[in-house]
Amino acid sequence: MAVGAPPDLSQLPAVAGFETAATHCGIKKNGALDLLLARMAADTAVAGVFTNNRVVAAPVTLCRDHLANERAGALLVNSGNANACTGPQGMLNALSNARAVADLLEIPDGAVFLSSTGVIAEPLPAQKINDALPGLRDALAPGKWEAAARAIATTDTFPKGGARHVEIDGAPVTLVGIAKGSGMIHPDMATMLGYIFTDAFIAPRALQTLLERANGVSFNCISVDGDTSTNDTCMLFASGQAEHALIEDPDDPRAAAFAHALESLAKELAQWIVRDGEGASKFLTLRVTGAPDDAGAKQVAMSVARSSLVKTACAGSDPNWGRIIAAVGYAGVPFDPDATTIHLGEALIVERGGRAASYTEEMGQAVMKRDEIEISIDLGSGDGRAEVWSCDLTHEYVSINADYRT
Amino acid sequence: MAVGAPPDLSQLPAVAGFETAATHCGIKKNGALDLLLARMAADTAVAGVFTNNRVVAAPVTLCRDHLANERAGALLVNSGNANACTGPQGMLNALSNARAVADLLEIPDGAVFLSSTGVIAEPLPAQKINDALPGLRDALAPGKWEAAARAIATTDTFPKGGARHVEIDGAPVTLVGIAKGSGMIHPDMATMLGYIFTDAFIAPRALQTLLERANGVSFNCISVDGDTSTNDTCMLFASGQAEHALIEDPDDPRAAAFAHALESLAKELAQWIVRDGEGASKFLTLRVTGAPDDAGAKQVAMSVARSSLVKTACAGSDPNWGRIIAAVGYAGVPFDPDATTIHLGEALIVERGGRAASYTEEMGQAVMKRDEIEISIDLGSGDGRAEVWSCDLTHEYVSINADYRT
């Protein structure tokens, strides 16, 4: 299942400075693509945000280390195995893959970034990956984003990606992003795997700030099942091949359009993940206004986004809004229930802590039957606001997760 | 569904100072019992703990007010309607019910305690309740606990109750508890409805302390679906009719056996709720040791107890322990993954951050196939410990909650 039509990745443009290749190296059982190699122009700037889970996969630890170098030469991503909870051997395997990529492409080990996604706690078949690398190098080519997106997918039902075109100082700049994720999705810093490639010429520290800002209103605003992965990674690579002068300050006015496009692309990718949430049949938008501050608004929105009872009510097209206000109530944010209003789509359902006089069950039902449901909550207690995205909780979710490994 | 054999309430003993009666007053559709009245001896001491949800049902507000009087004369509980999110009319309805009980039993309004449980946000049919009161009064009798437990149930599949006998200063003392709850179960202060009746002679403030301590290791240690109700209530009534001198200090050595029995009974009731968790097919015990402190241990245990991925893995008898360690990792408690060990039942599965050398998939599978699964996590980072209880997440849970009101 997935909510709405999936994106068309066949038309995503090439981005100057990036080539990719994808193959089946033997991790996934069904012959599907499971390994992505991306080669980048020399001096490509890199930024990254990673899971806040205290248990982190070996490749995340490696990426955090390499990020200090501020430059990337290659990205290698395998799917089907997360290389998480794999002990010291997991890190040796990651280092072995990074070394093999570095040798093959003649770049420093510290310029190689790795991700793994899939089953936790199985030993990574590092040799299978290394054996596939020469073939991948020979196949490197620009613009092959659809295969790249397929190669990083696990329980995803469609490949996810998008593009933006902006100008910096009159020079055309392109951004292309790919992402994967369908389960174990609940943001904490970054969630899932996402990679954005651009030819903009931006210094690494400015790039990091721009990525963190975009991440805060995109990947960190989604929940599928409330579980934060051990492997969440979002990286931004900038080859610097666009024809504009270097941007060193994230607040440089010349970067404003880029920042906006980056945020917009990150939101699109994040929403694709929710639309393809495991078992999802409905896409939920939770808008909170009138909170004491933005952080409080997000906390309330995520509380509703995570509620199993709200999510099952959406699955059943049941306008059981008492569950919504209950989830608002236990979010831990101070507010006045009597000042709160809640809209389900365009229907006012709650005012002054009780059912709105104008509300009828039919109005609520009409909204809940839709594939895309908007829940707007005004707490009447300040200027804080947030928007987050979630999906419903269905039988299909249980089927997928009660039987994932077998 | 429910895990294990339900309790037999037909043998629960009478408790001196308490009479109950139950009836169908017309709230539930199928003619089932939906109203409980309990009458108590004069000067019965009362203690209570209530939901921390910021949105609270009218009867919870009323109980909090009346608790200041420290004495109870009656308890009235309806099921089928929660009288929550019902605005000012909800409180007027609660006051009307309290007044009617007070008039009928010739006690002060402030000695009446009320609870409501069921659908949120529907107007309470207060008149139906008041009309049923005279008949209930005429039927009051001691020891009718099974009917009482049935009358407070909603999606419960069996009535829940238990008893303990102890001595205080050589005098026999009886405790009987009843409880309900199956969904919207996630502790915050108290969870669900639970009532414990005893003939012990204990002053209200000491009783309150004893209840809070017992609650912290029982009702506050369970999760079915992560949703904290607007109506959670646990109350303890002590008629003082046992033949011992007044206990005024909760740490009085004479009260130790009572405190232990109270904790044990509260744990039993809490575990009945989990065993009857909506859609539950397995009962999970999560034990955490070696945390920085007890609060941290409980936070880690509840993180695992709440994880949709752990709960679906249990439903599928899948020893997917990577999900367990991931949920430990995002609990927000500092610990050293490399010092952590995890047992699934008797099988050591994780040591030093990775799969234990001795572990085999067959060992894990053998444990996961059981109806009762124990997960023991030692963080190796301190002396903090906690034990909490949860259940699996099944298709049946989705069926129940996608279609609760229709």
DSSP states along B19-44: EEEEE--SSSTTS---EEEEEEEEEE
Q: DSSP code of A190?
A: B
- Between CA A77 and CA A400 the distance in angstroms is 23
* pLDDT above 80: residue B101: yes
Q: Give whole-number Cα distances, A189 to A50, A114, A216, in Å.
A: 6, 18, 7
Nearest CA-CA distance, residue B218 and chain A, Å: 20
Q: What's the farthest any 2 CA atoms get from each other in chain B?
A: 70
Between A3 and A104, the higher pLDDT residue = A104
Interchain pair A323, B55: CB under 8 A: no
Report the residue from A89, A306, A312 with minimal CB separation from B402: A312
Contacts of A337 in chain B (CB under 8 A): 54-55
Chain B nearest-CA residue for A350: B85
* Residue A50 confidence (pLDDT): 85
Q: How far apart are CA B68 and CA B66, in angstroms?
A: 5
pLDDT digits (tens, 9 = 90+) for B210-244: 999 988 888 877 776 666 667 778 889 999 999 99
What is the rounded CA–CA span in Å between residue A329 and residue B238?
32
DSSP sequence for B322-358: HHHHHHHHTTS----GGG-EEEETTEEEEETTEE-TT
| Nearest C-alpha neighbor of A350 from the set A335, A331, A364, A367 | A364
Give the integer Cα–Cα distance in Å for A118 and A181: 10
Inter-chain contact A307–B226, Cβ cutoff 8 Å? yes
Interchain CB distance below 8 Å, A322 and B393: no
Nearest in space to B58 (alpha carbons), one of B109, B117, B130, B129: B117
CA–CA separation, B240 vs B200, rounded Å? 5
Test mutation, B342, B401, B403, B405, chain A, max A CBs within 10 A: B401
Confidence of residue A1 (pLDDT cuts 50, 70, 90): low
φ, ψ for residue B9, nearest 5 deg: -90, -10
CB atoms within 10 A of CB B114: 26
pLDDT above 70: percentage of residues in chain A: 95
Catalytic residue among B51, B117, B191, B233: B191
Confidence category of residue B55, pLDDT binned at 50, 70, 90: confident
Note the pLDDT of residue B190. Answer: 34
Q: Check residue A187 and give its pLDDT.
A: 44
Active-site residue list of A = 191
Residue A401: per-residue pLDDT: 81
> Who wins on pLDDT, B230 or A370?
A370
Taking only the tens place, the pLDDT of each residue in B260-312 is: 999 999 889 888 888 888 888 999 999 999 999 999 999 999 999 988 889 99
ipTM: 0.74
- In the annotation, is B312 catalytic? no
Q: Which residue of A has its CA nearest to B87?
A: A354
Of the CA atoms within 13 Å of residue A329, those in its CB half-sphere come to 26
Q: How far apart are CA B6 and CA B160, in angstroms?
A: 8
Rounded to a whole number, what is the distance in Å from the CA of B358 to chain A's nearest CA?
14
Scanning every residue of chain B, which has its alpha carbon at the shortest distance from the alpha carbon of A319? B405
- Of B288, B286, B302, B314, the C-alpha closest to B370 is B314
Return mean pLDDT, chain A. Answer: 89
pLDDT in tens, B346-360: 999 998 878 898 999
Question: For A70-97, how does the pLDDT look when each residue is reduced to its tens digit (9 = 90+)?
Answer: 999 999 999 999 998 888 899 999 999 9
**Which is more confidently placed, A184 or B162?**
B162
Whether the per-residue pLDDT at B187 is higher than 70: the answer is: no
Model pLDDT, residue A186: 54
Instruction: Report yes or no: B55 and B85 within 8 Å, Cβ to Cβ.
Output: yes
Q: Which two tokens stand for residue B114?
A: 């009320």
What residue ranges define each of the domains in chain A, with the CATH number in brackets? 18-275 (3.60.70.12), 283-402 (3.10.20.340)
Determine, for residues A313 and B406 on separate chains, whether the beta-carbon distance falls below 8 Å: no
- For residue A141, the tally of other CB atoms under 10 A from its CB is 12
* pLDDT, position B198: 96
Among A333, A363, A399, A335, residue whose Cα is nearest residue A155: A399
